[in-house]
Structure formats: structure tokens, C-alpha cells
Structure 1
Amino acid sequence: MNLNQYIDHTKLGPTVSLAQIDQLIAEAIKYQFKSVCVSPVWVKYAKEKLASTNVLVCTVVGFPHGTSTTKVKIYETKEAVKDGADEIDMVVHVADVKAQNKKAISKEIKGIVKAAAGRTVKVIIETAYLEKKEITSVSKLAIKAGAHFVKTSTGYAPSGANVTDVKLMKKVVGDAGEIKASGGIRSMEDAKAMIEAGATRLGTSSGVSLMEGEKINGNTTY
């Protein structure tokens, strides 16, 4: 198992500096991670720095709460693509999921997939706030609307990924889509458990430590 190719090496947040982005990029190149996941303001810079590598640039849309309007999310996506983003991780509006507002959810995802113009789209459903039936419903809806991945978490909810939810999501989407587990992946054992449960991508800010098999202390890795 090439663990490095499962990892979206992540640095998100309001105080992230240029020096931290440079470090993230250097680590991604060293370990040949699948991607770096950065805020939209860093996409163009990261793309330029990674131009001669195989490391992809992933960014977030509607992050972290998913409460931007659909028009704003679509605009964010178009701007990210223009700046060089290879992958888009969008946050669904959780209140729409709770209300079973399937039409609105589907319309939004379809709009973002179209705006992404062939780039990989991952739909963050924020499993910490959802019941099993809601996870099932929105996972089906996301893939049917054209998303490539369903993703567990932003890292801003009370909890992140867990094996039970990943297994459920994988069961729901089958071979029609993929699963990204993120939040709380703190050790090699955690990473392997998520992959065994069906995840094909891991979102974490502790990619280096995972590669080195170190246990991470703290509340979150994403």
C-alpha cells in the first residue's frame, strides 16, 4: 500500500502563513503525496510551485460551514479552476440535508461539478451532524449529481471521520464514487483502518507523521 498516494496534505485556517504553505509544499514533494489541500487564496501560488511535480492542488469551496449561497460556491469554484486547482472539496449545506431538501442539494452539486470543468469534486457532508439515514441519502445524492467523492468532515465539527461512517458511505456509493476520510486521523493504524473501511483518500495535516508512523497528539489533524 502506497499510503502517500492516499493523502491530501492539508493546511487550512485563518492564520496560515506563506512560510507554512512553503513547508506544506516541500513536504508534499518529498513524500509524493496525492495533493496539497489549501485555502483558495493559496491555490495559484501552490500550483506554480508544484508545476513540475505530480502533486495535485486541492482547495475548498463554501468552507467550513457550507452556508454560502450556491451562486457564491459556483463562483468560488470557477475562480479556483482559473487559478489552477485540480480538485474541489465543497461543503454541502447541512441544514438542507437535515431538511431533506434534495432538489437544492442536487442543483448545487451539479452546478459546482459543471463549474469544475472536469476537475475532481468532493462533497463534504459533515457526518458529525448527521444520522445514518441522512448520511445514506446525501451520499447517494452527491454521486448521482456528478460528484466523484463523498467526504466525511471539514474538521470544524465536534468530531471527524470514523470507521462506521466510512463503511456506510462506501456501502452506499459502491463503485460509483469514492470516499475521503478526514478529521482525527492521528496514526498509521487510524489511516489503515479508514482505508480498509473503504476510503481511497485521507485528508490530514499530519501526513508527514503518518508516513513516519508517529502517533499525533491533539484534537484534530485537519
Structure 2
Amino acid sequence: MSPTALTTGLFLANADHTLLAPGTTSAELETFLLAARELGVARVCISPTLIVEAAGPLRSSPVQVVTVVGFPSGVHAAEVKAAEAAQAVSDGAAELDMVVNRGLVRAGDWAGVEAEISAVREAATDRVLKVILETAALSDAEIIGACRAAEAAGADFVKTSTGFDPAGGASVHAVRLMADTVGGRLGIKASGGIRTAAAVRELWTAGATRFGVSGTAAILAEWDDTARAASNTGSGSGSGSGSGY
């Protein structure tokens, strides 16, 4: 269990507010970024071709840009992923979320997995690097092996999902397995299908340290409603205080 209680402030500091829909227009991007500033999230995760355009709406803002590499399939050649990473760094991305080649993982080619992550790691220089495993499509043994390869290659995080695979998104089981495997040496980003405050708290307890979410406003609204209900219940029972989060 995570040693620190997850408050809304801590959630916002560890939320990657996400817009990765293909076909996003300039107007949609600007609306999304202005909303991100209003929400108070620490980062936004957007498609690589939108990084430069995001600089305007985010000017004088502490919000950092996260982008994706080899997205969403991960079947790109390692050299292509490295070139994508280098371009993203040049364009201003602070963090990169790369999709691992799932075929290499399923084949147990751990040297190959480590090599492609290492290629992106080298191209990403000092940027935070997260490795997307697509855990819902992998066995426990494959998840463990991929986490170990990511750590050996110098990644900073392992991440559950792209959110685009029909196999599914983040699960408590996968997050707990990933956390047990990396033992606090890497961060754990839970992403894919996280739509409620209850799900966020459950994944945090399982070991998640970062969240990829698109419905951030709805999660916060539910969180506030839950806190108010707890506070009202406490007042009604004469306790004089609510539990909060």
C-alpha cells in the first residue's frame, strides 16, 4: 500500500491529463490546454505533432508536455522510435511514453526489448521515459519480463496501457504486479479506462505513482462530491469532522 494518502492535490501533481484522439484540431487542442491550466494538472499528454502548437496556450504556465512514441501499436523499428523521441525532445516534450514492441515481449526476446528501449533512452537524453507495456494483452510472466527489461534499459516508469487496445486498460492486478517487480526503483503509470475517483484511489493503493486520464474534471468532481458526503455524514454523527481525501 502506498504510504501517502492520495489527496486531490497529490492526484493533480501526478496526473497526465491526456488528449491523444486522432484528428484533433487546433481549436480542440487550445480548449483542452486552457482547461488543463484551469484544472491545475502538472502535465498534459498529447500527440507529437501537437507539441509545438501547444507552446502558445501553455506559455507562462508550469504545465509540462508529455508525448508518445511508437504509438499506439509499438511495432515501429527501434530506429524509428529513437528518431521520434529525438524530434519530440527537440520540439519541447518533457516526458516521453513509448510503446514497447509486444511481439518481442510475447516471444520472450528480452535482449530485443531492452535494445529498443535503450535506443529511445539514448535519444531522449535527460527526459523522463515511460514504457507502455499493454498489460491487458500480456501474461504475468510477460509483464514481469518487460518491467525488468525496461529497468535494465534505463526507463523511469513502466505504464500499463495505451488506452487504445481492445484487450483493455489498467487493472489493479497489473499495477500491483508491476510495482512488486520494480520495487520502487521505477514509477508506475496507470492508464487506460480510469474514469472514477474510486478507481484512481484503488490503483494508487496498488502501487500506481502516475495516472494517464482524459476525464480528469469528472474524476475531480466525483472526488469533491465524495468528500462532501463524508463530511456531512461526520457532522450528522456528531464527530465534528469529515474524512476528506
- TM-score interval, normalised by the smaller of the two chains: over 0.9
How high is the TM-score relative to the length of structure 2?
0.85
Partner of 2:242: none
> Residues 78 and 115 of structure 1 are in contact (CA less than 8 Å); yes or no, is this contact kept in structure 2?
yes
CA–CA separation in structure 1 for the residues paired with 2:110 and 2:55: 35
**Structure 2 counterpart SS, 1:123:** strand
Partner of 2:226: none
State which drifts further: 45-54 or 63-72: 45-54
Matches within 5 A, 1:62-101: 62-101=70-109
**Structure 1 counterpart SS, 2:36:** helix
- Superposed displacement of residue 117, structure 1: 1.2
> Residues 9 and 24 of structure 1 are in contact (CA less than 8 Å); yes or no, is this contact kept in structure 2?
no
Q: Which runs of no fewer than 5 residues in structure 1 stay unpaired? A: 215-222
> Residues 66 and 93 of structure 1 are in contact (CA less than 8 Å); yes or no, is this contact kept in structure 2?
yes
Which amino acid letter does the alignment assign opposite residue 31 of structure 2?
Answer: Q
**Structure 1 counterpart SS, 2:32:** helix
State which drifts further: 40-49 or 196-205: 40-49
Partner of 2:43: 35
1:194 to 194, 200, 203: 203
- Superposed displacement of residue 84, structure 1: 0.2
- Superposed displacement of residue 155, structure 1: 0.9
- Superposed displacement of residue 18, structure 1: 1.3
CA–CA separation in structure 2 for the residues paired with 1:8 and 1:172: 23
CA–CA separation in structure 1 for the residues paired with 2:184 and 2:72: 28
Partner of 1:203: 212
- Superposed displacement of residue 93, structure 1: 0.4
- Superposed displacement of residue 19, structure 1: 1.6
Larger Rg: 2
State which drifts further: 3-12 or 55-64: 3-12
Matches within 5 A, 1:65-214: 65-158=73-166, 159-213=168-222
- Give the percent of matched residue pairs that are identical in Structure 1 and Structure 2: 41
> What is the root-mean-square deviation of aligned Cα atoms in Å?
1.1
> Residues 37 and 59 of structure 1 are in contact (CA less than 8 Å); yes or no, is this contact kept in structure 2?
yes
- Superposed displacement of residue 128, structure 1: 1.3
CA–CA separation in structure 1 for the residues paired with 2:192 and 2:125: 28
Which amino acid letter does the alignment assign opposite residue 133 of structure 1?
Answer: A
Which amino acid letter does the alignment assign opposite residue 189 of structure 1?
Answer: A
Which amino acid letter does the alignment assign opposite residue 170 of structure 1?
Answer: A
Q: Which runs of no fewer than 5 residues in structure 2 stay unpaired? A: 1-6, 224-245
CA–CA separation in structure 1 for the residues paired with 2:98 and 2:56: 23
CA–CA separation in structure 1 for the residues paired with 2:25 and 2:56: 17
